[in-house]
Structure 1
């Protein structure tokens, strides 16, 4: 019988890890946090600067401007992805080895030096496509599938670190995540809900609280995966 840690246990272990190490955790996640804030802000306030009063305005010009903005946004999102995943993966390393010595800031750029960086981007695109297609059916199935795919990047890192990646295709990582989450989607969903109070506190503090909340959240999610694989083989 599989015995998973409770939400309280997962969080307590992270709090114990963070005790005396808050500065290290903040430095590890501060760049992803800033990028997240920038992307959310630009997403809600983005505009295409077109002078509609220009008598020479042409629809082709508008289309080219919109397309360029879309391409730039997409490229930036991929850069943000690699930075965030680099920090996320280092967080998992830290969960697995609490005594791990690492440079928090440099850890944000680990996968820019990896020849396999493009694989993470392809996985990102595949997850986006699969989730979108499920969402076309109904919103709820899309959310469920999003939860089922939530461990994909951790699976990718885990299998690559173990030298088992040659046995897997990129879609296999998604499939393995889905298998790991069988019977665990509700646990993951409730764990996410348990942070609502913290998110509210972060907004009330005008975002300052997220400097501490975000590392706590990210490390708890890494600990959730660590707990999953401790009870399930991913070989």
Structure 2
């Protein structure tokens, strides 16, 4: 049975002697668009998808203020920008999100090389992209329809990137099914775990967000501990086997 204090204590222990390496990794990832401070775990890529698909707020006002002669250029620019944003999310942010999960899970056991973050760019590079895309499309559909299903599915499927980090060959159907089983009875507890960082996030806001860069490794390490607890639960209750979830690589501490 996990508790917030236990997860955070384990996270601090996992970061001993590894904090600064984790800090620089999170800092670089935040610059390419994959940060979670101010959002929830694994939300960076989803936010990019939402931004890429466009925000319709005040669209009419913006369009009316543009001269007709510039409208074609604006439309072309928006289309090109959207295509670039979608491609960046699919082919860069999705793999990096899985790689970040893999790094922090491996870092629980030993000093992990930074190259772990980009290890997903090797075969099967395409499968994690497809699985995350299908997952996020389902979540987006839930938000579009009634909002509440979107929130529910967000928490049901939030372990999908971790599952792909452990088994990049997992299908979308299986990843969503297993994540939902692992999160059964845990969604509210995880929400409270997220809220437990609220005080730190307020302090980060007082530093104009700079403090968030220092908080990010601690949050990611805590979420990795949460996945470790859910993984143990899945194996103990027979949701999965060690053939499907084979664990994470151990590295020499040199």
Give the TM-score category using the shorter length: 0.7 to 0.9
Given that 2:7 and 2:225 are in contact with CA atoms closer than 8 Å, whether structure 1 keeps it comes out as: yes
The residue aligned with 1:184 is: 186
Q: Is 2:85 aligned against 1:73? A: yes
The residue aligned with 1:217 is: 219
Paired with 1:108 and 1:232, the residues of 2 have a C-alpha distance of 25
- Deviation digits for residues 129-184 of structure 1 (CA, Å, limit 9, x no counterpart): 11122223322221111000000121223235xxxx4xx53221111101111111
Unaligned runs of 5+ in 1: none
Question: Are the structure 2 counterparts of residues 212 and 62 from structure 1 closer, same or farther at C-alpha, using a change threshold of 3 Å?
Answer: closer
How far residue 122 of structure 1 moved from its aligned partner, in angstroms, is 1.0
Q: Is 2:25 aligned against 1:28? A: yes
Between 80-89 and 171-180, the greater mean CA deviation after superposition: 80-89
Paired with 1:175 and 1:200, the residues of 2 have a C-alpha distance of 35
Given that 2:156 and 2:180 are in contact with CA atoms closer than 8 Å, whether structure 1 keeps it comes out as: yes
How far residue 199 of structure 1 moved from its aligned partner, in angstroms, is 1.4
Unaligned runs of 5+ in 2: 36-43, 242-254
Given that 1:28 and 1:107 are in contact with CA atoms closer than 8 Å, whether structure 2 keeps it comes out as: no
Paired with 1:14 and 1:58, the residues of 2 have a C-alpha distance of 52
Q: Is 2:92 aligned against 1:101? A: no
How far residue 202 of structure 1 moved from its aligned partner, in angstroms, is 1.3
- Deviation digits for residues 83-128 of structure 1 (CA, Å, limit 9, x no counterpart): 2321221111112x1xx23322x3332222x121211211221112
Given that 1:25 and 1:215 are in contact with CA atoms closer than 8 Å, whether structure 2 keeps it comes out as: yes
For 1:139-154, list aligned pairs within 5 A: 139-154=147-162
RMSD: 2.8
Paired with 1:174 and 1:94, the residues of 2 have a C-alpha distance of 25
Q: Give the count of matched residue pairs.
A: 215
Question: Are the structure 2 counterparts of residues 58 and 158 from structure 1 closer, same or farther at C-alpha, using a change threshold of 3 Å?
Answer: closer
Question: What stretches of structure 1 move > 4 A for 4+ residues in a row?
Answer: 37-41
Given that 2:98 and 2:164 are in contact with CA atoms closer than 8 Å, whether structure 1 keeps it comes out as: no
How far residue 185 of structure 1 moved from its aligned partner, in angstroms, is 0.7
Match of 1:204 among 206, 212, 215: 206
Paired with 2:29 and 2:225, the residues of 1 have a C-alpha distance of 19
How far residue 58 of structure 1 moved from its aligned partner, in angstroms, is 5.0
Q: Is 2:100 aligned against 1:87? A: yes
